[in-house]
A and B are shown apart, each in its own frame.
Chain A
Amino acid sequence: EAGVAQSPRYKIIEKRQSVAFWCNPISGHATLYWYQQILGQGPKLLIQFQNNGVVDDSQLPKDRFSAERLKGVDSTLKIQPAKLEDSAVYLCASSLALAGVNEQFFGPGTRLTVL
């Protein structure tokens, strides 16, 4: 089966610019996650969707970050305006369902560099 797809793989922008990342989860996976991984650290959950509803966005900096999951499938994460400290790898993951504990499958990530 196809894995989690993300694009772009790399992005370089200047501070105060905006950027968007796209994620296509594994077909049939109801739960979708966006993580931020700063170099040398573990992933930090930004937002979790169940179908097209938000389950947890407690660590999403809502003044500059936004995310949506159209029709409960693809998702986009946007940063506007970007700051230097947003330089990180942004990982998308999906899992079958919220009920029970299911493995999360990760995409390759988008490496963002903010200059």
Chain B
Amino acid sequence: AQSVTQPDIHITVSEGASLELRCNYSYGATPYLFWYVQSPGQGLQLLLKYFSGDTLVQGIKGFEAEFKRSQSSFNLRKPSVHWSDAAEYFCAVTNAGNNRKLIWGLGTSLAVNP
């Protein structure tokens, strides 16, 4: 079955520290991968996406993610976290078929200590 797992429900980091949010997927076809961020009371905003090509993708707000097919992972990273990064982060996967339906993870809640 198609699924996305975000192993960490909640993470707390100090401002200025590095961040890595994990995402593992189970998908039979070539995956198209996304990371979205949801700030309190806001809708979802796309941080970055991977369709093909370079497995290290750059996104907005200083985020990057690396696609590792051998590990079925698409982890999100940021070298130095800002207090405004506190939010909920969702990983999602789809493919060119299946009506492009997004399969979502349950999300990781990020708290940032000053």
Q: Which residues of A are in contact with B by a Cβ distance under 8 Å? A: 4, 40-45, 48, 55-56, 91, 93, 95, 98, 100-109
Contact = CB atoms under 8 A, between A and B. Distances in A.
Interface stretch (B11-19, B45-53, B61-69, B70-78): B45-53
A103 B41 CA distance: 21
Nearest to B41: A108
Contact of A4 (B41, B43, B100): B43
Interface residues of A: mostly helix, strand, loop or mixed? loop
A103 B43 contact: no
9 tightest Cβ-Cβ pairs between the two chains A and B: A42-B104, A106-B43, A106-B44, A108-B43, A101-B32, A107-B43, A56-B99, A42-B106, A103-B46
Contact of B90 (A42, A44, A55): A42
B42 interface: yes
13 contacts: A41-B106, A42-B105, A42-B107, A43-B44, A56-B99, A91-B43, A98-B100, A101-B32, A101-B96, A103-B46, A103-B49, A104-B102, A106-B43
B94 interface: yes
Given A42-B92, A43-B44, A44-B104, 11 more contacts: A42-B104, A42-B105, A43-B90, A45-B101, A93-B44, A101-B51, A101-B100, A103-B46, A104-B46, A106-B44, A108-B41
